[in-house]
Amino acid sequence: MTLLCRGTFIVVAASVMVATALGADNSAGKRAAQPWRAALSQELPLLGHRNWIAVVDSAYPLQTSAGVETIETDADQLEVVKVVLDQLANAKHVRPDVFTDSELELVPESDAKGVTAYREALAKLLGTTALQSLPHEEIIGKLDEAGKTFHVLVLKTRMTIPYTSVFIRLECAYWSDDAEKRLRAAMAHTKR
C-alpha cells in the first residue's frame, strides 16, 4: 500500500510538473509574442523631438539606416496603433504628428479587400488627431533620412492591405509649433 501511494504520488507530482511546465511555456509564448510592447515602453522615455514611430504593414521594407530599428509585432495593425497612441497620450515629453500614405484614399476595395473598413476604423481610432498625408515614397525617405541621425522605431504588423502604414513623428509636448515660430521670428529680428 505504501508503494502504491508513493507511485500515485510520483505520477500526480509528475503530472503537476508537466502541466505547470506547459502552462509556463504557454505564458512565456504569449509574453514572447509581444516584445514590441516592452520595447515601446522601454524606448518611449528615451525618444524625443525628431524621432519616429512607424506602425507598418507586413510588406514594409526592412530599412538599413543605422538608426532604424524594426520589430515584428505579429499583431493587428490597429491594435498596435492604438497602443502607441495611448502611450503617447500619457507621455509628458512628446506628442504625435501623424502621417499616412496619400495613396490609401485611392486604393479601391476591388483591389484590396478590407481597405474601406480599415480606413473607417483608422479614422475612428485617430479621432481628432491631426493627420497629414504624403506619398508613400516621400514618407519612407523621411524615415531613412531621420534614421541617419535619429532613432526610428518601426513596428511591423500582420496587415496585408497596401498603403496602410501609420507614421508618427514625435514633437516636443511642452513646446508648440507656434511658440517655435515666435522664437525663430524673435531670433531673426535680433540678428539685424
Decide: 137 and 60 in contact? Cβ < 8 Å.
Answer: no
Average pLDDT over residues 27-54: 80
| Distance of alpha carbon 96 from alpha carbon 125, whole angstroms | 14
Q: pLDDT tens digits for 58-101? A: 999 998 888 999 999 999 999 999 999 999 999 999 999 999 99
Q: pLDDT tens digits for 144-168? A: 999 999 999 999 999 999 999 999 9
Q: Structural domain boundaries of the chain?
A: 47-182
Instruction: Identify the CATH number of the domain defined by range 47-182.
Output: 3.40.1650.10
pTM given for the model: 0.79
Q: Is the pLDDT of residue 3 over 80?
A: no
Question: What letter would DSSP give residue 133?
Answer: E
State the pLDDT at residue 190: 86
Under the phi-then-psi rule, with left for phi > 0, alpha for psi from -120 to 50, and beta for the rest, what region is 51? beta
